[in-house]
Every structure is written in C-alpha cells, then in structure tokens.
Amino acid sequence: MIQRILGQFVQEFQKNGSHSLLPHLRKTTSIKLSRRFNHNNANSNAEPIPPQTTKPEFHFVTSVDKNQDNEHLRLIFDSPEIWSDFVTRCQTIAALEYGNSLTNKRKPTGLFGNPELATPNGFRVAAKKALRRVHLLVQRIVKANTDDELRKVVKNLDRLSDTLCSVIDTAEFTRTAHPDQKFTQAANWAYEHLYSYMNTLNTNTELYQVLKNVISTPRISSKFSTEELQVAKIFLRDFEKSGIHLSSAEREKFVQLSDKIITLGRKFTHNQPQRPINYIDVDASLLNELKISSVINKKANIARISTKPWDAQVVLKHVKSEKVRKAMFIASNSATEEQVKTLENLLKIRGELALLLGMESYSQIFLIDKMVKNPENVQTFLRTLADRHRTKALEDLRLIQIAKQQEIQSESLPTVYAWDRDYYTEKIKESSPTQPTTPISPYFSVGSVIQGLSKLFSRLYGISFRPAEIMPGEVWNEDVRKLEVIDENEGKIGIIYCDLFNRFGKYQNAAHYTVRCSRRVDDDDSEGDISTELNITELGELPDSEPGETIKGRNGRYQLPVVVLMCDFANPTNSKGPSLLNWLEVETLFHEMGHAMHSMIGRTDFHNVSGTRCPTDFVELPSILMEHFVYSPSVLSLFAKHYQTRDPMPIGLIHSHLNARSQFSAMETQYQILMALLDQLYHSNLATSSTFDTTSILANLQDTVGLFPSVSKTSWQIQFGHLYGYGSGYFSYLFCKMLAGKIWKDIFEKDPLSRDAGQLFKKEVLRWGGSRDPWLCVGKSLKDERIMAGDSKSVSIVGEWIDCL
C-alpha cells in the first residue's frame, strides 16, 4: 500500500517536471568494523482525506511493478519533496489502519522502534533491565548441574551476550550519531556502564569453568551443532585471552596493564594532531603564485605556511620548488619526544601483557583466532606479496623518475624522495591524454546508487530493498531513510537505516553499525532463568522477550538483523536537486552495503557469530568484493544514468575513469604493505626489548621495502592511528583485498550479474556469518582444496595472487 500511494505521487511529480540540478561533490570516506561479545563494535501531519467505512486494502508491490518500485526507491533519496510526502502518507495510512483520528499524530515510539528509547533516560532503564537479566543468566549457568541445563550453557551464554550487546551496540551508535546531547550523554553512560560490567564477565572463573567442562564432556558436547560448537570455542578463547587462567595476583596485574593500554591509547590518539613544527617560512617567490589559505606574509618576500595536513598536501602536490616541498615534508612528519614515547610505551605495555599470558608477543594474542593464526603466517603473506608486487611498484616509480628527470633536466634518472611523490604523480595525471575531463557525478545520484544496489542484489541473491514507514521517534534525524530487506523466497529478512546526508556535528567517516544481530529466539526458555528460590516481587523489571519472526523455509522464530549505514554526502534539495557522488563515494556506499548484506544474509542461530561477527581478516571480504562491482560496465548499466535526462553513462566515460583509477595503484599498494609490516614489527617481541626504537624500525623498513629513502628528523609513525584501534591487524585489509580479488576474478568477472555466481557466494560465504571456518568458506567458493586447508601454505598461496589486487 505504501508503494502504491508513493507511486501515485511520483506520477504526479513527473507530470509536473523534475527540477534542474547541480552536482555536489564530497570527500572520500572510510569504514568501521563490528564487534562481538568480547568488545575489543520528520514528522508531518497527515493530509485530510474523506472518511472511509472500511479499512484500505494493504498489499506488497508485485513483480509487475518492479520498475516503478525501483523509481520509488530512487526518488525517496533524491527528492526531499517526495520523501516528505512519503512520510506524510505513511502516517495517514497508519492512522487509517489503526483506527486513529486523522487529526492526531500516531503514538510515538523510541529509537529503532523501541518505546523504551523515546527519551534519554530510556538508556539507563534499558541498561538496568539488561543487567537484571544477565545476573539471572549468570546464576543459571554457574548452577547448571543436569544434562538438560548443561546442554543449554552455550545458548545461555549467547543470550547473555545478546542481552548486553543489544544495549551496548545501540548506545555506541547513538552516542556517535544522535544530534541531541542529552541522548548522547545517556547513551555514553549506558555504553560505559555495561562495557565495564562485560569486562568483569570476561574474567568470571565460574562461567569459564562451566563452559570448559561442558566442552570437554562428550555426552554433552557431542550433541552440539557445528555452529554451537564454534560459538562455544569462541567464548572459551575469549575467556582465555582475558587472562582467565591466571592466578588472582596475575589477573590483577592483567587488569592494571589493560587499563594502562586504554589510557596510553587515548593519549596517543588525542596527541596525534599536535605538531612540534606548526609552520615553515619560505621564499614567497617559490610558491608559483599558489594560493594557500593559511599563508601569512611575515615580510615582503617571506611566506609563513601552516603545516596542518590540508596545507601540507597543497604544498607537496603543487609547489615546484623541491626545497620548499622537502621543508614541508619534514615539518609535517615530525613528532615531539613525548608523542614517540607515548606510542612506544603503549607498544611495550602490550608486549608485557602478552608475556603475562604466556605469549611471545601481542601479535600472537591478536592473531590466535584470525584466519592467519599466527605472526609467522602474516609475515609469510606480506613478504610473499611484497616480493611479487615490487616489480609493478617499481614501474610506477620509474614514471616519477622520468618526470623528475625531464623537469630538472638531468642526464640520468634521479633519486626520487618522499617529498617528490605527490608533486610528480599530480603532474603526470594532469598531463595524461587519457585523464577524464567529463565529470561522472551527474550519473551517480544517491538514489540512483541505492536503486542500483537493489537491482544488483536482486540479480545476485534474489534480495531487494523496500522503503518502509518510519514512526515518530524511531530515528534520530528526519533525513534518515528506512529500508526493509526483502528476500524473494523468505520475505522480510532485516532492516537497514540509511543515514547518508551531511548535518552539523555529524561523524564524517562512513560506517556500518550493527544495532541488532540475528539469532534464533523461540528456544530461549527465558522462564527457566528465574529459579524457584527467587522472590519475583523483588526482582525488578526485565527486558521484554523478543518474539521473533518466522522465516519461510526455516524452523523456529528469529530476531531479524538491524543495521545503520552512515555516510556524509551532500544534502539533496528541492531547488538544487539530488546529492551527486564522485566515484570514490560510490565505491564507499557499495563497500558499506557489502557489510550490510553480510549482516542480512548471515542470519545464524547464535548472536555471537551472526553477520559481520567474524575474524577481522575475513570481515572485509564481502565489502571489498562489492567495490569490484562498481567498476563493471554491466553493473553500471543498471543504474548509472544522468540525473536530469536519465541517459545512461557513456561507455567511453566509464573506461576513461577506469584507466585513471589504475594510475599509481601499485605504488599505493606497496605503501600499504610497508604499513602492514610496520604494524607487525611494532607488535612483535621487539616491543619488550630495551633497545626498542620505533623510528629506527620505520627507517629500516622504508629503506628495504619502501620505494623512497627514509628521511631523517621525521617520525611519521605517530600519525599511524590504526596502531591503537587496529593494532596487529592492519594487514587484514590487504589480505581481504586479495581474497575478494580472487573471488571476483574466478566467480563474478565473466558475468557480474549471474544468479549462479551470486548463489554460490551466498551459499558458501555470506550465509555463515562467522559460524564456519573462513578458509572453508573461501576454499569451497573457489573449489580449491589447498585453500580449504587453512595452513601456512594456504596463506602463502594468497600472497601470490598479485593479479587479484
């Protein structure tokens, strides 16, 4: 019915003609990963209509209406007028359906449809209710003494995890995205309160011992499903990584070291923007009349230039004088002694923590539950990749050498330094005859891209998007759209909230947030949480039990996944038209939707392994794979149409941008390899050495693996923010990029719209979430037993796939 009403308005709008629009360009954005149990993730009044004696007939759009339905999807993102009308008419329909007075607004709900979160205080209430349920579950688990109760231990641990994460995950998103400070403060309180409690559970010896006994008792564990056994092992490993096996004194030291790591990590992150050299003074005549916003004339012929990232980039890209570029590079990559000391202390404390746990290095702790398993395998992967890829990277370097040779009129190829890279790559791109001159953003409105994603998923997986009603209070901003994810066989399988447009104070990076994971709920046995010994009147209110929904073809009832996609695109307006994206922004949206599809399709029985709750060196595979589809002409033909004329993007324009994209990509990959190796060395046993020196380690890597000589008086490592939040895991992006490239090449490249290819990837990878060995997922997709083995040889083979980058 919603689609039918919207369709009527769309037809009226199209009769009146569309608006003249202008392109809007935004910067490239980044990604965010989800977490698991061990957290180491406008309302308008209804229009008056004639009274009816019977309720209107409600129906879903049929296949006959698919083309028009796709237009509805596009226009609710591209036209504020249609979006506003859609919201209004949804409320009108709701009023009729529920028999409300048309002059009254529908009863408000709370965030994500949770009435409890209609006010900021709801987060405190939700947190306290969750803790009551968790306390009951803890007691139930530790007192389990019958086979029936012991058989439920893994299920109850997963319910415990879901109870906490349902509040923690919602709170984490809200404290990041909500424009109301009262909501963000309340959400932050709930997050920190429950997060702290979760850390105490990770060191609960009674829970650990019960779980360990259950796993080691064949009469119990032999009845576990494969998924249930995987969940049990994950919980056991998480306990052990938290020092559960240590003595009381050692556990106390573990907590102290963990607290130090958090304190040093925050200090490292907070100090990053600070520079010991805030400006450089240069001969103004050397700036080639370049206009830099922060130049202050100290004297008539001297220019003072800020070393902030934006100004430094302008100088490094556009100033001809090598002397000026060198001065800027050194100044903008310098560090204070305190900044370097903070980083080195952080890395040393992580090393001490590893030694306390009986490990050789922090990297060994981090990698134990990842695909690569250990530091040696990561080194094998990165060194194999570096050696095989270096030839391509040197080809890029030679182009820069030739350009520099021509400019400085040298008889031989000169040495290229780090301050030369951006300047000469920019010159080469500008002088290239194949450099695109026609913008592509008019072909990429946000609505068109969402429409294209729905069409693509329909072809591959039989899944599409349907605009959904938003109740008053359900979202945090009136620009948020809600999509129901519809499977052609199973019906509704999840919800995606799309917070895609810019607003003041909004988090600027792109992200995929898991608000609620999928899991089976009909077998929860929540009544069994309350023992006969408890006084129910003193217990207090508990969270409502999730009723779940039935899914065609599956037994039981399931809690459906809910996620949020957040981006920072320009706002559409009625006067200027839709938000238009550059190619990198389209790639970003495809990337984040890859995470969302993993969440939607990976609907497992257990919360702890659903969707994106899988190893970090596997979780980026579905999202990076989606980036390949952006560059397929057959996929672009589904949606890349001019926002005014609806003409398809010319094939020549596609090819020119594809060629431009590949320029100097090998050099960039070599740089990523260097950073991944640096991350591994910093988290190796070198960190606990008395001679540990992060600057020397970086310089040595630059001189042996990098393309440019190391530069004295610089300490770029303090700008490597991932060292805290993603420590020892930076290689994961490259690793997943290789996996995704291989799957694209072997499965999708020949026919990117093939249902058979889509079903294979869905069957072998997406539907498992984190419940299956990732090596088995990838190996079965590729039909390669060498990969299924998941050993050091498998890792080395992945490193050889350089043609898949």
Give the CATH number, domain containing residue 725.
1.10.1370.10
Among candidate residues 589, 614, 639, the one where a domain is terminated: 614
Q: Tell me the per-residue pLDDT of 524-562, one tens digit each, with 9 for 90 and over.
A: 999 899 876 666 555 678 888 888 898 888 899 999 999
Verify that 426 and 501 share a domain, yes or no.
no
CB 284 within 8 A of CB 319: no
Task: Report residue 46: phi and psi, to 5°.
Answer: -65, 140
Look at residue 33 and tell me whether its pLDDT is greater than 50.
no
Look at residue 21 and tell me whether its pLDDT is greater than 80.
no
Look at residue 716 and tell me whether its pLDDT is greater than 50.
yes
What six digits make up the tokens of 699?
Answer: 């310089």
Catalytic-residue membership of 592: yes
What six digits make up the tokens of 452?
Answer: 């294209």
Verify that 426 and 448 share a domain, yes or no.
no
Does residue 798 fall inside a structural domain?
Answer: yes
From its phi and psi, is residue 611 left (phi > 0), alpha (psi between -120 and 50) or beta?
left
Give helix 446-461 / helix 755-764 axis angle, nearest 10°.
Answer: 80
Does residue 240 fall inside a structural domain?
Answer: no
DSSP strand pairing (302-306 vs 279-283): antiparallel
Does residue 168 fall inside a structural domain?
Answer: no
Which residues are within 8 A (CB) of 299 and not within 5 positions of it... i.e. 6 or more apart?
none
Verify that 449 and 428 share a domain, yes or no.
no
Does residue 188 fall inside a structural domain?
Answer: no
Look at residue 31 and tell me whether its pLDDT is greater than 50.
no
Verify that 431 and 472 share a domain, yes or no.
no
CA distance 609 to 602: 9
Verify that 406 and 455 share a domain, yes or no.
no
Among candidate residues 614, 642, 677, the one where a domain is terminated: 614
Does residue 412 fall inside a structural domain?
Answer: yes
CA distance 608 to 37: 7
Does residue 705 fall inside a structural domain?
Answer: yes
pLDDT on residue 287: 83
Verify that 536 and 676 share a domain, yes or no.
no
pLDDT above 70 coverage of the chain, percent: 87
pLDDT on residue 81: 92
Q: Number of structural domains, the chain? A: 3
CA atoms within 13 A on the CB side of 643: 29
Q: Could you please report the per-residue DSSP string of 762-781?
A: HHHTGGGTTSS-HHHHHHHH
CB 613 within 8 A of CB 769: yes
Verify that 428 and 467 share a domain, yes or no.
no
DSSP type of residue 165: H
pLDDT on residue 5: 39
Verify that 398 and 491 share a domain, yes or no.
no
Q: Measuring CA to CA, which residue among 516, 474, 476 is closest to residue 499?
A: 476
pLDDT averaged over every residue in the chain: 87
Q: Tell me the per-residue pLDDT of 276-317, one tens digit each, with 9 for 90 and over.
A: 899 999 988 888 767 666 565 656 688 889 998 888 999 999
Verify that 302 and 409 share a domain, yes or no.
no
What six digits make up the tokens of 124?
Answer: 């405190």
Verify that 726 and 674 share a domain, yes or no.
yes
pLDDT on residue 65: 52
Does residue 478 fall inside a structural domain?
Answer: yes
Residues facing 492 on adjacent strands: 486
pLDDT on residue 532: 60
* pLDDT interval class at 68 (50, 70, 90): low
- Boundaries of domain holding 307: 277-333
Verify that 449 and 425 share a domain, yes or no.
no
CA distance 93 to 110: 20
Name the helix (H) or strand (E) containing 270. Answer: helix 248-271
Which of 474, 484, 546, 592 does the annotation list as catalytic? 592
Look at residue 40 and tell me whether its pLDDT is greater than 70.
no
DSSP type of residue 577: B
Give how far Cα 186 sits from Cα of 146, 181, 415, 560, 683, Å: 41, 8, 56, 26, 36
Q: Tell me the per-residue pLDDT of 361-418, one tens digit each, with 9 for 90 and over.
A: 999 999 999 999 999 999 999 999 999 999 999 999 999 999 999 999 999 999 999 9
Sign of CA dihedral 254, 259, 260, 262: positive
How confident is the model over 420-429, as a mean pLDDT? 94
Does residue 24 fall inside a structural domain?
Answer: no
CATH number at residue 457: 3.40.390.10
Verify that 592 and 718 share a domain, yes or no.
no
